[in-house]
Structures are given as structure tokens and as C-alpha cells.
Amino acid sequence: MKTVTTEIRLARIADAPIVAEVHDEAWRAAYRGLIPGAELEKLISRRGPGWWESAIRKGNRIALLGFGDEVAGYANYGRNRAKALSYDGEIYELYLRPKFIGLGLGRKLFQAARKDLVGHGLDSVVVWALSDNDAAVNFYRALGGKPVARSSETFGVRSLDKTAFGWTA
């Protein structure tokens, strides 16, 4: 029997192309049918390897989850950007390649990002999800997230509701 290991580590500059690849694959799977097609492709194209390289160089916290010899997903996180919400940290993005969904890896990645945030003094955490993205909403609820705010975001001509989920220390 072969044992497959998982590893979570911070992204390095050389990882930018693979982060872009995982981002593209995960976003297409997560948002096809929710975000209008042309708008989705525009959003994805803005996040190529150069964008990720720049983010890593600037010191953004981007954790990669390795499963065997593949990068299965990533989380991007840091200080809460929504000052109206009384949370210290925020997980900006948490995505897995579709073939890795349902294996418990998202939970593992979330817990690692949260632990890193707490280790940097950011004890409470918020994450936003499109309200119509049932998979994301159910995922964050299953992790104990409580809906704490609602907002909307416009993608082309379509306005979509989003929900913030919060966790306290």
C-alpha cells in the first residue's frame, strides 16, 4: 500500500506558476454559472503567475497544500480588510483543485491558515463567500463559522450577494 502525505507550507516565488494554475482551475469550477462567463474569465486572467509572484514578494501569506507530489490547493490570508467588522484576521481565499474536494483537505488548509493567523496575534477570523455558492457556504458553516455580515459585489451587470462568516478565539 502506498502512503500519500500532505504538507502545508508558505508559497515561495518559484511557486507562482502553480498557484496561478490552481487558482484558474478552482475558480472555474467554483464560479461557473454564478459569475457571468466573460467576467469570470477576466477575473481569472488578472491573476496570472506575475500577479502571484508579486503577492509573494510583498510578503502576502499564501499557504500551499501539497497532496503527494501535487499542489492540491492554497489559502491567502492576513489582516481583516473590512474595518466595519470586528475581526482581526481574514482568509481572503481558500481553494482546492476540484479533484481534491471532499477529502478533508479544505478543513486541513483552513485550520493551518487559522493557526498561522493566531500565531501572528490575529485571534478572530472572517471569510467572505458568495451566498449562492452552496459548497462554500456549507463548508464554512460546517467549520463552525457564524454568518456575521452580508454585502454584495457586482460582476459585469450582475450583482451577487455575499456572506461573511466569523470565528472568534
Residue ranges of domains in the chain: 6-167
At 123 the pLDDT is 96
C-alpha cell at 64: 500551499
pLDDT in tens, 32-88: 999 999 999 999 999 999 999 999 999 999 999 999 999 999 999 999 999 899 999
Average pLDDT score over the chain: 96
Whether the pLDDT of residue 167 is over 90: the answer is: yes
C-alpha cell at 143: 467549520
Sign, CA torsion 130/131/137/138: negative
Task: Please state, for a pLDDT cut of 70, what percent of the chain lies above it.
Answer: 100
Whether the pLDDT of residue 162 is over 90: the answer is: yes
At 4 the pLDDT is 81
Q: What is the CATH number of domain 6-167?
A: 3.40.630.30
Beta strands in the chain (DSSP E): 6-10, 61-67, 70-79, 89-96, 125-130, 146-155, 158-167
- Per-residue confidence at 3, pLDDT binned at 50, 70, 90? confident
At 148 the pLDDT is 97
pTM of the complete model: 0.94
At 78 the pLDDT is 97
pLDDT in tens, 107-117: 999 999 999 99
